[in-house]
Amino acid sequence: AQKITQTQPGMFVQEKEAVTLDCTYDTSDPSYGLFWYKQPSSGEMIFLIYQGSYDQQNATEGRYSLNFQKARKSANLVISASQLGDSAMYFCAMTGNGGFKTIFGAGTRLFVKA
Amino acid sequence: EAGVAQSPRYKIIEKRQSVAFWCNPISGHATLYWYQQILGQGPKLLIQFQNNGVVDDSQLPKDRFSAERLKGVDSTLKIQPAKLEDSAVYLCASSLAPGIEQYFGPGTRLTVT
């Protein structure tokens, strides 16, 4: 069975500093995708970044990068130069072989301090 | 480009009543998802459509929940009869194909009293 674990219920970071949000996963599928989504207090889920299980390089999207360590089954999100608007819930998610069985972690709430 | 539309945004019903939610995905997106997000938890996939066919409904409580996607575009999710534990936000999402980024609607917040 697939599983996503986010062990940090809440994180604080100072504005303009970098922060790492942890995500570990478990799957027996040979091919899978890993995603990070942001959910502000308004509630709408926003896609941030994607990493395929066969991708050799870590994904980057602007201030977001995904630290993918396949052997350790981890897919941590790094946000550089945090902004006040980054305060939100962050969810790690995974899809299995063929793009089915999407599962989400419990989320990490990030607080950015001025 | 218009995003994923959902209605209603809020719904309050009594237990044992029925309710229906509607979703209009982004134009051209073949894959549509319904999720249930209970307060304080991550979303849980209820059903996934590819065009108008169901490809995964393994976590859909089929004794009370049903969903359809006629003509491979709009979709409706129905609960009949509702239970107190169905109180949650119901999120609809769509993607061009399975396994790539999903785009979410604003959700419908359901309260069952």
pLDDT by residue (tens digit) across B85-107? 999 999 999 999 999 999 999 99
How far from the centroid of its chain's Cα atoms is residue A96's Cα?
Answer: 16
**Contact yes or no for B45 and A50 at CB 8 A:** no
Q: Which of A2, A19, A10 is nearest to A99 (CA)?
A: A2
Cβ contact (<8 Å) for A35 and B101?
yes
Residue B17, classed as helix, strand or coil, is coil
- Taking the C-alpha atoms of residue A49 and residue A38, their distance in angstroms, rounded to an integer, is 10
Q: How far is B51 from chain A (nearest CA, A)?
A: 14
* Biggest distance spanned by C-alpha atoms of chain A: 43
User: Is residue A107 over pLDDT 80?
Assistant: yes
Q: What mean pLDDT, rounded, does chain A reach?
A: 96
Q: Locate tokens 């989504």: which residue?
A: A37
pLDDT bin (cut points 50, 70, 90) of residue B2 is confident
Query: Which tens digit of pLDDT belongs to each residue from A19-72?
Result: 999 999 999 999 999 999 999 999 999 999 999 999 989 999 999 999 999 999
Upstream peptide bond of B8 is cis (omega within 30 degrees of 0): yes
- Contact (Cβ atoms closer than 8 angstroms) between residue A97 and residue A33: no
Dist. CA B98–CA B24, nearest whole Å = 17
Chain A residues whose beta carbon lies within 8 Å of the beta carbon of residue B108: none
A-chain residues near B106 (CB < 8 A): 42-44
Whether the per-residue pLDDT at B71 is higher than 90: the answer is no
Element (H, E) at A112: strand A108-113
- Whether the per-residue pLDDT at B69 is higher than 80: the answer is yes
Contact B99 A46 (CB under 8 A): no
**Nearest-by-Cβ selection for A107 from B33, B42, B48:** B42
